[in-house]
């Protein structure tokens, strides 16, 4: 594949959580027509692609990540015709369309599972992971669910346990079964034929496990809070089996048949770095992967960034990373990383940093506005994980609040009805119409930074070379051909003395003057 065909290399991707983006029919839930109506806004950000979180038919036990029909649109989001219209409009605006594929599990309402649980010798009997009870009736292994409790649920109809790494309503697909692989690849063809430009593969390292169902060993106590039984184990056998790799090679072969398509894997866990590199072996498997280096980081420090960048050197045998500071599963980064009084300054510096990272960058809807994490009261929670582990697990709902399009309008331009989650008072004040009218706003800054990234080959696809600096200062060079740029950031609240000799800033935020770089400040500079 030529570099010209690799449109995704260095791309900026805008994640849209459909429930929370724009509601076109007044039911309080965002939908596909609502997204289509606002694609001009997305294109104005200078992003290359949109990533749509699941919109497939689902009982919504986990808000679409429990799929009951992989080839249809849930009625709350619209129809297949609405999806086709969205793709057509996106392509007219030169936006690629990436969609989620949830292949490690389905909904328990999927017809495949209904058939599988009904008989041990039916057509779909081996499409899910079933196992007999131990002689004492206990589950087949000690594996725990991410969302709390055992990863096994007894099913009286079949007389066996079934595996679910997440909710019990999300039974584990037996992706080791060639017939299941064939069906998943056929589903991918269905969406590729409808014009999608790529896939994000959700929790793909959970797709296969140790077939011997070996118990996981206990995790050493490192002093970190343990809010779920899942946290008490090393996840050595319930995920990340080596047999995933040949399946990913089948995925790659399919994508190559369509040309200029893109795949990015979501990979979490203690072995994420190793697995991401295996999953993205150049020319053989997926195009990119992202983990949780930033998504679950309590603080943004120079060492956190240096460590993440060092994992992906510019070598022929190393794949291409993707980076996200925020998404639908993680608390808003500006709320995690900055004190309230530094919100605006930090948000600007954070966007500048994101625009300079080597790899693809993913912005989560509302990140360009500086939306913060909303404190959702227990009685208003929708997130099943937060409800199950209240109050120790921070609700994902706080990062899924609706987009505020217009500050002073009922429903704030998101809906004519009652929104499925509250907006949060501070976020209403950061509405799009307010920021459009302020040339100094974070929204305008985001556009400028993404445009800058697109205009400089060194930022879009060049090498990243660390620069030695005082401990709390982050600096690196981005290099492509004759272009060499210095990127420097003070990620903390104290002024740092530092003079980069021979460099002239081309863009900066915060206070950079007289040999100092102020709190929450950053710059990009060139030689001379």
Rounded CA-CA distance 25/186 in Å is: 32
Size (the chain), residues? 528
What residues does CATH 3.20.20.80 cover in the chain? 3-105+177-452
121 is catalytic: no
Q: Which of 3-12, 81-90, 159-168, 456-465 has the lowest mean pLDDT?
A: 3-12
pLDDT of residue 448: 98
Residue 2 has pLDDT above 50, yes or no: no
pLDDT of residue 391: 72
The residues with which 351 forms a beta bridge, in sequence order, are none
**Overall fold of domain 463-527:** Immunoglobulin-like (2.60.40)
Residue 203 has pLDDT above 50, yes or no: yes
State residue 452 phi and psi, 5-degree precision.
-60, -45
pLDDT of residue 4: 47
202 is catalytic: yes
Average pLDDT over residues 53-65: 97
pLDDT of residue 11: 98
Residue 140 has pLDDT above 80, yes or no: yes
Q: Which two tokens stand for residue 418?
A: 């009652």
Looking up tokens 């058939």 gives: 115
Decide: residue 132, CB within 10 A, 0-12 exposed, 13-18 middle, 19+ buried. Answer: exposed
pLDDT of residue 3: 40
- Rounded to the nearest 5 degrees, what angle is found at the Cα of 191, between the Cα atoms of 82 and 71? 75
Average pLDDT over residues 140-158: 96
Average pLDDT over residues 42-52: 98
Average pLDDT over residues 83-111: 98
Q: In sequence order, what E strands does 274-398 have?
A: 288-290, 320-324, 360-364
Percentage of residues of the chain with pLDDT beyond 70:
99
Q: Is residue 392 very low, low, confident or very high in pLDDT (cuts 50, 70, 90)?
A: low
**Per-residue pLDDT tens over the stretch 104-114:** 999 999 999 99
Asked if residues 424 and 372 have their Cβ atoms less than 8 Å apart, the reply is: yes
Looking up tokens 């053989």 gives: 284
Residue 400 has pLDDT above 80, yes or no: yes
What residues does CATH 2.60.40.1180 cover in the chain? 463-527
Q: Quick one: angle between helices 244-258 and 178-193, nearest 10?
A: 30
Average pLDDT over residues 263-269: 96
**Per-residue pLDDT tens over the stretch 329-383:** 999 999 999 999 999 999 999 999 999 999 999 999 999 999 999 999 888 888 8
Q: Does 3-105+177-452 carry CATH code 3.30.1050.10? A: no
**Per-residue pLDDT tens over the stretch 454-498:** 999 999 999 999 999 987 899 999 999 999 999 999 999 999 999
**Per-residue pLDDT tens over the stretch 493-514:** 999 999 888 899 999 999 998 7
pLDDT of residue 395: 81
Reference 269, options 106, 146, 390; nearest CA is 146
pLDDT of residue 393: 67
Average pLDDT over residues 315-319: 94
Q: Which residue among the candidates 23, 197, 266, 477 is catalytic per the annotation? A: 266
State residue 13 phi and psi, 5-degree precision.
-115, 135
Rounded CA-CA distance 357/447 in Å is: 16
DSSP 33: H
State residue 313 phi and psi, 5-degree precision.
-70, 160
Q: Is residue 1 very low, low, confident or very high in pLDDT (cuts 50, 70, 90)?
A: very low
Q: Is residue 387 very low, low, confident or very high in pLDDT (cuts 50, 70, 90)?
A: confident
Asked if residues 288 and 219 have their Cβ atoms less than 8 Å apart, the reply is: no
Asked if residues 524 and 352 have their Cβ atoms less than 8 Å apart, the reply is: yes
Mean pLDDT computed over every residue of the chain: 95
Rounded to 10 degrees, what is the CA torsion of 94, 462, 354, 251? 60
Percentage of residues of the chain with pLDDT beyond 90:
91
CA contacts within 13 A on the Cβ side of 17: 26
Average pLDDT over residues 94-106: 98
């Amino acid at each position: 594949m030529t570099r010209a065909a690799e449109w995704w290399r260095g791309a900026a991707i805008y994640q849209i959580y459909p429930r929370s983006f724009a509601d076109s029919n007044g039911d309080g839930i965002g939908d596909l027509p609502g997204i289509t109506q606002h694609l001009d806004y997305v294109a104005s950000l200078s992003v290359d692609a949109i990533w749509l979180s699941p919109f497939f038919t689902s009982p919504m036990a986990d808000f679409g990540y429990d799929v009951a029909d992989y080839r249809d649109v849930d009625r709350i989001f619209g129809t297949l015709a609405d999806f086709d219209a969205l793709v057509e409009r996106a392509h007219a605006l030169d936006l690629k369309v990436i969609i989620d594929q949830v292949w490690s599990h389905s909904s328990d309402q999927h017809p495949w599972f209904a058939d599988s649980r009904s008989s041990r010798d039916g057509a779909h009997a081996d499409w899910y992971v079933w196992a007999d009870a131990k002689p004492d009736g206990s589950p087949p292994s000690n594996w725990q669910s991410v969302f709390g409790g055992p990863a096994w649920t007894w099913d009286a109809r079949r007389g066996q346990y079934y595996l679910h790494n997440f909710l019990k309503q999300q039974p584990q697909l037996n992706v080791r079964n060639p017939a299941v692989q064939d069906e998943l690849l056929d589903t991918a063809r269905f969406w590729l034929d409808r014009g999608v430009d790529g896939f994000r593969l959700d929790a793909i390292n959970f797709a296969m496990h140790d077939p011997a169902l070996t118990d996981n060993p206990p995790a050493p106590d490192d002093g970190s809070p343990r809010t779920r039984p899942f946290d008490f184990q090393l996840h050595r056998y319930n995920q990340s089996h080596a047999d995933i790799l040949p399946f990913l090679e089948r995925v790659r072969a399919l994508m190559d048949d369509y040309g200029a398509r893109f795949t990015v894997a979501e990979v979490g866990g203690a072995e994420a770095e190793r697995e991401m590199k295996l999953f993205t072996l150049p020319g053989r498997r997926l195009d990119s992967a992202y983990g949780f280096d930033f998504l679950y980081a309590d603080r943004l420090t120079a060492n956190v960034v240096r460590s993440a960048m060092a994992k992906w050197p510019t070598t022929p045998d190393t794949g291409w990373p993707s980076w996200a500071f925020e998404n639908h599963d993680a608390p808003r980064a500006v709320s995690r990383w900055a004190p309230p009084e530094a919100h605006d300054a930090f948000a600007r510096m954070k966007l500048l940093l994101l625009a300079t990272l080597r790899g693809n960058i993913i912005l989560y809807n509302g990140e360009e506005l500086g939306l913060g994490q909303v404190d959702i009261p227990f009685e208003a929670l929708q997130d099943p994980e937060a409800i199950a582990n209240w109050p120790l697990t921070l609700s994902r709902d706080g990062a899924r609040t609706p987009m505020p399009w217009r500050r002073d309008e009922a429903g704030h331009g998101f809906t004519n009805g009652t929104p499925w989650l509250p907006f949060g008072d501070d976020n209403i004040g950061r509405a799009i119409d307010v920021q459009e009218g302020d040339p100094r706003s974070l929204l305008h800054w985001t556009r400028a930074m993404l445009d800058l990234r697109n205009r400089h080959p060194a930022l879009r696809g060049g090498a990243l070379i660390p620069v030695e600096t005082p401990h709390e200062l982050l600096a690196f060079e981005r290099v492509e051909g004759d272009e060499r740029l210095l990127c420097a950031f003070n990620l903390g609240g104290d002024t740092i003395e530092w003079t980069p000799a021979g460099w002239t800033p081309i863009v900066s935020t915060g206070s950079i003057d007289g040999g100092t770089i102020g709190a929450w400040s950053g710059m990009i500079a060139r030689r001379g």
